[in-house]
Amino acid sequence: LKSAYIVRCDNFIKDENGVITEIHCSYLPESKSGEDQSGIKVKGTIHWVSAAHAITAEVRLYDRLFQVENPSNEDGDFKDYINPNSLQVVNAFVEPSLADATVETRYQFLRKGYFCLDKDSRDRKPVFNRTVTLKDAWAKEAVKN
């Protein structure tokens, strides 16, 4: 994660039902992302947004409009090849600074892609449209063929 450190769990506390209620951690100052000198192999990365400060945003995840690369090359009506999952609308919790997002700025949502602010946005309820994914399924298919 950008500018992050490795965090080590030192202890945790459970309530009477066995639910973890506290986690005691420390960070390793020599492990800053991009400058890691710790020698520790990271097994996973957690991305998080503060629940106390996050704002809710509508996120529109656009995908390919068609299920085939070129519907003109296929038999039948082009509408037969429309991808029913070409748009998924989800709610997301985002950093509070995105309440001041602007239409001319592009934003990277880690592991999801690049997004722009939609004109449907309202005060304290931003709407973001995905413009570019981080993984390109068509490119993978082209390599296979």
- The pLDDT score that the predictor gives to residue 12 is 97
Query: In angstroms, how far apart are the furthest CA atoms of the chain?
Result: 64
Residue 86 is predicted with a pLDDT of 95
Q: Is residue 1 pLDDT above 60, yes or no?
A: no
What is the residue extent of each domain of the chain?
1-46, 55-144
55-144 sits in which CATH class?
mainly beta
Which pLDDT score, from 0 to 100, does residue 112 have?
87
pTM above 0.85, yes or no: no
The residues that bridge with 129 in the sheet, in sequence order, are 60, 116
Per-residue pLDDT band for 124 (boundaries 50, 70, 90) equals confident
| 35 phi and psi angles, rounded to 5 deg | -135, 20
| Terminal Cα-to-Cα distance of the chain (whole angstroms) | 34
